Amino acid sequence: MENQKPKYWIIVASKDHVKNGIAEGFAQACHGKASPLRRMRQGDFIIYYSGKQTMGQPQPCQQFTAIGKVTDEHTYQFQVTEDFCPSRRNIEFLPSKDISILPLIAELDFIQNKKSWGYPFRFGFFEIKQHDFELISSQMLLHHYA
């Protein structure tokens, strides 16, 4: 990757699933689909947004819950149960803290309609601009990364 600028991605997942991915060093997106993960390149950055604490449960979370860097070019499948074999990417998660999205909504460019700020997250996976990544990561990261 000679001088290719990194891209920045948001992945939406419940907080319990994100914490499992952090523990094992992987990312999944869109219920295990491979196509979103294939759009990422080594050196790209991801930020997880968790609208819910636990998948299928009503407790809201509304936080950015993980930040990491794509470590290689491989998308692979992992057998979780007999009928669920999601695609994954290897991620180096960075030391970070969970932060609420609420104080950032007004400044985030990817949220165009501030009243319906949850709208972009329904896609489950999307690219954001460097400005938004830096705004979020500056609040999350426990150490500064260039």
For the chain, which domains are there? 8-140 (3.10.590.10)
Give the pLDDT of residue 1.
Answer: 46
Give the pLDDT of residue 74.
Answer: 95
Give the pLDDT of residue 142.
Answer: 86
Other CB atoms within a 10 A radius of the CB of residue 38 amount to 12
The stretch 37-65 carries a mean pLDDT of: 96
Q: pTM (2 decimals)?
A: 0.93
Q: Is 53 helix (H, G, I), strand (E, B) or coil?
A: coil
- Residue from 60, 49, 72 nearest 133 by CA: 49
pLDDT-derived band at 109 (thresholds 50, 70, 90) equals very high
Q: Residue 60 and residue 42: Cα distance in Å, rounded?
A: 32
Mean pLDDT taken over the chain: 94
Cα of 80 vs its chain's centroid, Å? 20
Helix locations, the chain, DSSP H: 15-24, 35-38, 130-140
The stretch 91-116 carries a mean pLDDT of: 97
Strand-pairing partners, residue 11, are: 48, 125
Beta-strand ranges (E) seen in the chain are 8-12, 26-27, 45-52, 60-77, 87-93, 99-100, 125-128
Give the pLDDT of residue 146.
Answer: 47
